[in-house]
Structure 1
Amino acid sequence: MSGPPLFGTPRRLRRGATLTLVFGTLLATGAAAGGLTAPDARASRNTTGTRIAAAPVVDGRQSDGKALAPATTGAPSPAASHAADSHSGSRTEPDGANGDHVDTGRIAEEIQDGKVGPQAAARLVSRSGDRWSSFYTAREYAGLQQALDGKYVGVGLSVRRVDGGRIQIARVQPGSPAALAGLRDGDLLGTIGPVKVTGLAVTEVVADLRGDNVPGSAVRLGVQRAQRSWAVTVRRATLDTESVTVTASADGPTVIAVDAFTEGVGDQVRDAVRDARHGVLLDLRGNSGGLVTEAVAVASVFLDGGLVATYDVHGEQRALYAADGGDTTVPLVILVDGGTMSAAEMLTGALQDRGRALVMGSRTFGKGSVQMPSALPDGSVAELTVGHYRLPDGRGVDGRGIDPDVAVPAGQDPLAESHEVFAGLGPPT
């Protein structure tokens, strides 16, 4: 049984129609204007092993991944401190003035009935009291769809908001226009065109970097590095997202790092597993979610059918199943941390409950709610919570997260620790 997209990419959104379901979090997007920051645990992927994780957002790719708030708190909080100009979204927070809580189901009905316009919908979502409901402009949502398809138009910058509201480059994609222009990780962005970016929400910065999604269009960036300031003009290009990184080893496990579940990730993981000779280390640290179909496809790589998760939409129960024929013998260890959330938690919990994987690291984020997008006439989209999902053993994830089988204390390298675990698992049978 195929599942609906997680953090979905509706191809056709029509008022009054049944819209694509999403479990989603902002997939590597700059979803919030929060000031959360976290040190990079690795050069290519920004995560932390603490209860707060941050991940950069690329002007065309990324992940809200990932500056996240503690899973143990119920208060609304920014979903990301980094964003990519190809995955942008305006995640909202409750109205601080009155703390009103609005029924998201009613909002969806009013949007589908044509009773609520874009501005009113944005206000209702912001006052809903739901930390996961979001409002996207047409341009933001188009960028999100494109990024989930594995492509984006941008200059190749991942950006995040740091102290004082400044915008810092978290990562420069190799071979991108930004890389060719000499920009580096850690540089500060002062302006995008005539716009001063300090104090702006990450999503606004991402949208300005992406522009109108026209390859070849020029954008002038004001950059600061230490005491030097200068301006450079770069031209946007169509770039590939980099959701999967495979590191093979002659005498150790194959490390498959998945940053987000974009189009084609399931096939990439399956191809990598075919060549794995000494086990698979599936690294989901900092993975904020993505397409649920791709998360189920990854589960199908390691399972021979069976239940992955159940979920409800306004009380109606549904289920997701793995495909038959997966590799059930290759030793599998999953690495997780506080930035592992949504579809990544669903995948982790399914493989843990089914006895297929040993989970290492620290407790995951705890994002177990289900969202569904409702489209407005101008192309903007309100993404509203409609239910929650449960793992095969019936446990919920929302607000709880998933505890690892093997906890890795802060400061210790889980990659190094995993070698001892693999030695105990033994060779494939």
Structure 2
Amino acid sequence: MAIAKRGLVLGATAVAAAGVIVTGAGLHLSQSKAFFEESPKEVIDEVWQLIDNTYVDATFNQTDWEAVRTDYLSRDYSSPEAAYDAVREMLELLEDPYTRFMDPDEFRNMQIDTSGELTGVGIQITQEEETDEIVVVAPIEDTPAFEAGLRSKDVIVEIDGQSTEGMELNDAVSLIRGPVGSGVTLTVRRDAEIIDFDLTRARIEIHPVRYSVNDAPEGPIGYIRLTQFSSNAASEMKEAIDDLESQNVVGYVLDLRSNPGGLLYSSIEIARMWIDEGGIVSTVNRQGVADEEIANNRALTDRPLVVLVDGGSASASEILSGALQDNGRAQLVGTQTFGKGLVQSVRSLPDGSGVAITIAKYLTPSGRDINQQGIEPDIVVELSEEEQEELSDNRDRIGTLEDPQYRQAQELVLQIVRANQNTAIEPQ
């Protein structure tokens, strides 16, 4: 069973706060909207069937899934809202924060596609399984959240003064979203400190790739920063590599820090630009290996490559960095990645509601399951609190020698360049 790449969500959250959402799943329209409205029980059976057919865990979290169907369909529901509550209750049995139901309003709020235009404050959030805390995966560059200084791992404790304790992820998203130009205050816990962030919601056009050339004695270094795996990421990455190759760079630093993920096919296309041969990722559903992606001998460059990662590098970022690391194509510098190795399919239901279902997990080429584990860099470079604040306040220093993690990455590239030069001049 092959899985269609364009229908899969690999963001660290399948719901991304403030309208930052990457979806693309095919529509599932088996019954009419009117029929669902007249028979609210049908939405329960529809969701049950989707879980039964596609959910990654064939034991359904050690639940008798047939008995669950019998139980919920034996009840009477006076309205669609009552059925929606029942669906949410049913899905809670799976204990999977990424598999969730969205009523029509929530689903409409989520349906910003991956064209690169986002609405909101520009963060992706997740809900910790053990604590139920609402946690920032990463802010997206050039968004209100990024400009204000929100960081990966910040815990959102209040939204406009309302406590998030016991709050569902979708409810947090609804509170954070709102009209462009309106304000929202996020109160976060960062270590032992409580910080208020007053943000103005905006509509933002995102270009996921930025690049530049940094001079070095051994030759120019190409620096590429990839902020998310949207539908235009691969084309922008190709343009960047082609341009940098034309400038005769001697090596590359690829920056995936605070990149929360995106589309599976985007990460695969970009991996093929760097890897000439070898595996990229295996997608595993409950029947076993459903799909294996490999390089196709179309790499755009074979020059030395070092990749920057951190705790905000999630999902599709981990696919790319894991593939590059496992194939020996690149060394990783920074800190341990986020650890999100699950794939969601987002399905539309005929009444305008929707459901996101965890249908698979992915493994790196060497078979690593990174979910909740993350990927360890080859060279760990921690940033102090002062260094983080310095880079946050002076973003033009990111990707320069004033950026400690980049400085280490560039030195590693130059070490490889020097070693290659010495090998080339050795007498044969």
TM-score range, shorter chain: 0.5 to 0.7
Higher Cα Rg, which structure: 2
Would the aligned equivalents of 1:61 and 1:241 in 2 still touch at CA under 8 Å?
no
What is the distance in 1 between the residues matched to 2:347 and 2:87?
A: 10
Instruction: Report whether the alignment pairs 1:376 with 2:356.
Output: no
Would the aligned equivalents of 1:125 and 1:382 in 2 still touch at CA under 8 Å?
no
Shift of 1:406: 1.8
Residues 408 and 220 of structure 1: CA distance in aligned 2, closer, same or farther (over 3 Å)? closer
| Aligned position for 2:209 | 244
Normalising by structure 1, report the TM-score: 0.60
The runs of 5 or more residues in structure 2 that have no matched partner are 23-59, 76-82, 127-132, 151-155, 188-195, 388-403, 422-428
* 3-state DSSP of counterpart to 1:386: strand
Would the aligned equivalents of 1:102 and 1:124 in 2 still touch at CA under 8 Å?
no
Residues 355 and 189 of structure 1: CA distance in aligned 2, closer, same or farther (over 3 Å)? closer
Shift of 1:394: 2.5
| Aligned position for 2:174 | 207
* 3-state DSSP of counterpart to 1:373: strand
Residues 243 and 61 of structure 1: CA distance in aligned 2, closer, same or farther (over 3 Å)? farther
Identity of aligned residues (%): 25
What is the distance in 2 between the residues matched to 1:370 and 1:159?
A: 16
Instruction: Report whether the alignment pairs 1:29 with 2:20.
Output: no
Range 356-365 or range 378-387, more displaced: 378-387
* 3-state DSSP of counterpart to 1:389: strand
What is the distance in 2 between the residues matched to 1:305 and 1:356?
A: 10
Would the aligned equivalents of 1:151 and 1:238 in 2 still touch at CA under 8 Å?
yes
> In proportion to residue count, which structure has more helix?
2
What is the distance in 2 between the residues matched to 1:171 and 1:340?
A: 11
| Aligned position for 2:313 | 340
Would the aligned equivalents of 2:15 and 2:21 in 1 still touch at CA under 8 Å?
yes
Shift of 1:136: 3.4
Q: Deviations over 1:118-165 (max 9, x none)?
A: 3222222334222433333444444444252211244x565989xxx9
Normalising by structure 2, report the TM-score: 0.60
What is the distance in 2 between the residues matched to 1:146 and 1:241?
A: 13
- Aligned alpha-carbon RMSD (Å): 4.7
* 3-state DSSP of counterpart to 2:293: strand
| Aligned position for 1:78 | none
Shift of 1:27: 6.1
Would the aligned equivalents of 1:273 and 1:280 in 2 still touch at CA under 8 Å?
no
* 3-state DSSP of counterpart to 2:214: coil
Instruction: Report whether the alignment pairs 1:148 with 2:85.
Output: no
1:267 to 228, 235, 241: 235
Instruction: Report whether the alignment pairs 1:257 with 2:225.
Output: yes
Aligned residues: 325
Instruction: Report whether the alignment pairs 1:402 with 2:367.
Output: no
Q: Deviations over 1:86-122 (max 9, x none)?
A: xxxxxxxxxxxxxxx7469959x96xxx999432222
Shift of 1:334: 0.7
Q: Deviations over 1:297-330 (max 9, x none)?
A: 1102112354211112221421123444222412
Shift of 1:60: 4.4
Residues 379 and 306 of structure 1: CA distance in aligned 2, closer, same or farther (over 3 Å)? farther
Shift of 1:408: 1.9
The runs of 5 or more residues in structure 1 that have no matched partner are 9-19, 31-58, 64-100
Shift of 1:266: 1.0
Would the aligned equivalents of 1:27 and 1:260 in 2 still touch at CA under 8 Å?
no
* 3-state DSSP of counterpart to 1:146: coil
Q: Which amino acid aligns with 1:401?
A: G
Q: Deviations over 1:259-306 (max 9, x none)?
A: 221111111111112233132211112222210011111102112354
